[in-house]
Amino acid sequence: MDTAQHTILKNLFKGISLSDAEEKSFIELWKACCFKQNELITEAGRMEKYFYVVLEGVQAIYLINQKGEKVVLGFSYVGSPSGVFDSFLYQKPADTFLEALRPSRMLAISRDDYLNLFDNHPSFHTWAHGFFKEILFGRLSREVELLTLSAEERYIAFMQRCPDELKGIPQKYLASYLNMTPETFSRLRRSILY
Amino acid sequence: MVMVKLLLTPENQLQRLNHLLHAVETLKEKDTTTLNHRPNENAWNVLEVLEHLSIAYAMYDKKIETALNQLHTSNEEPWAFRPRFWNRFVIEGQRPKGNKRPFKMKTLKKFEPQLEKELTPAAVENVFENFQKSYSKLKASILVSRNKEMNHKRITSAIGPIVKFHLPEAFEFLICHAERHKIQIDEILSSHKG
């Protein structure tokens, strides 16, 4: 693992203090994986085997609605965690797909190794409290945006906080994430400055 | 009307195939008496249904492979396909409606499973292996097709030249057909319990 990868991992697990020996074995738990553009990292109907940290690329998590269309629930990108967490934690078949929208490199830890971290190092419980708190409040604020803002306001709010690498993915994924048609998204993109 | 909107996507098909493969995997845990049980003298048992599904797949195996090999690799997004009227009608004829199997039909001789009346455990294993091999290959073909341009000559269905399928339609037909027989399997199993 090179320094940049190490830094990404450390940033995600900030607050965890490990001795040199412990850190070495922590790093050894992660294996690097590569995915081609459009490759399915996790398929709906299968079990999520890993918790990922993104080193490169953009990934989308989505489900298929009754009409057969993709409904995008979220994205992951450099430095963020990724994976289908409910399937990973509860060991039930995933309801969603995780797909690499750009060629992706990720670090992956297996469920057993992930759970052992909590048994071996109590500080991971504190980390998990902060980690899941951030996810929960992030999802809540997205829910509020979806329920209270107009399409235009949702577009502006998202574009202001969205990292540049996400702006380059196919528009229909961003449109779906913002619960609007690709046509509306494209009109807003042409007419609105944020 | 659902039929008009029918949009086929590889992701939707993969999700359903994963559920089917998983469901058949759990059937392996049933004892031989259950698997050999017939609701009545002329009805199929679970193993015959599975064997019938393997036979149905085999009719398409080479045709799918040949069609896939002729297609160019695509860097665009995976295909999405709307079947036209006649093929949509043929596919919808197979698709189960809830837990019901509409348009019950008599199986043509060439699709009839040729198994012994009572199977030994080794023969039972063989039936499962055939099924898993066939439908895992179907799944692999769908995964490959996600990176292909979907313009090709239609393939003649196992019904005959009266129905010619585009690949997405052939995939859909096989999956709907298997889902239909999965309901039959559930019916056979509940008749055994009852």
Number of domains in chain B: 1
| Number of cross-chain residue pairs from A and B with Cβ atoms under 8 Å apart | 47
pTM: 0.87
pLDDT above 90 coverage of chain A, percent: 86
Whether B161 is in a domain gets the answer yes
Residue showing tokens 């202001």 = A160
pLDDT at A109 over 80: yes
B119: nearest Cα among B182, B59, B50? B50
In a domain, B118, yes or no: yes
Q: Quick check: is B40 in a domain?
A: yes
Q: Which residues contact A141 (CB under 8 A, 6 or more apart)?
A: none
CB A87 within 8 A of CB A103: no
Residue type, A78: V
* Residue B72 resides in a domain: yes
What whole-number distance in Å separates Cα of residue B61 and Cα of residue B56? 9
pLDDT digits (tens, 9 = 90+) for B20-59: 999 999 999 999 899 999 999 889 999 999 999 999 999 9
Give the range of the structural domain holding residue B121, as residue numbers without chain letter.
Answer: 10-24+31-191
Using the Cβ of B72 and the Cβ atoms of chain A, whether some distance falls under 8 Å is answered with no
> Which has more pLDDT, B85 or B15?
B15
| Probe site for chain B from A42, A47, A70, A73 (most B CB atoms < 10 A) | A70
* In the predicted structure, residue A51 carries a pLDDT above the cut 60: yes
B2 within domain boundaries: no
Whether B133 is in a domain gets the answer yes
B29 neighbors B121 (Cβ within 8 angstroms): no
Is B5 inside any structural domain? no
Average pLDDT of chain B is 89
**Sign (positive or negative) of CA dihedral A172, B71, A41, B26:** positive
pLDDT tens digit string along A38-48?
999 999 999 99
Within-domain flag for B1: no
| CATH number of the domain enclosing B180 | 1.20.120.450
Confirm or reject contact between B142 and chain A (CB < 8 A). no
A43 vs B6, B15, B75: nearest CB: B15
Mean pLDDT of B128-145: 97
Q: Determine the Cα–Cα distance for residues B187 and B194; give it in Å rounded to an integer.
A: 10
Prediction ipTM score: 0.82
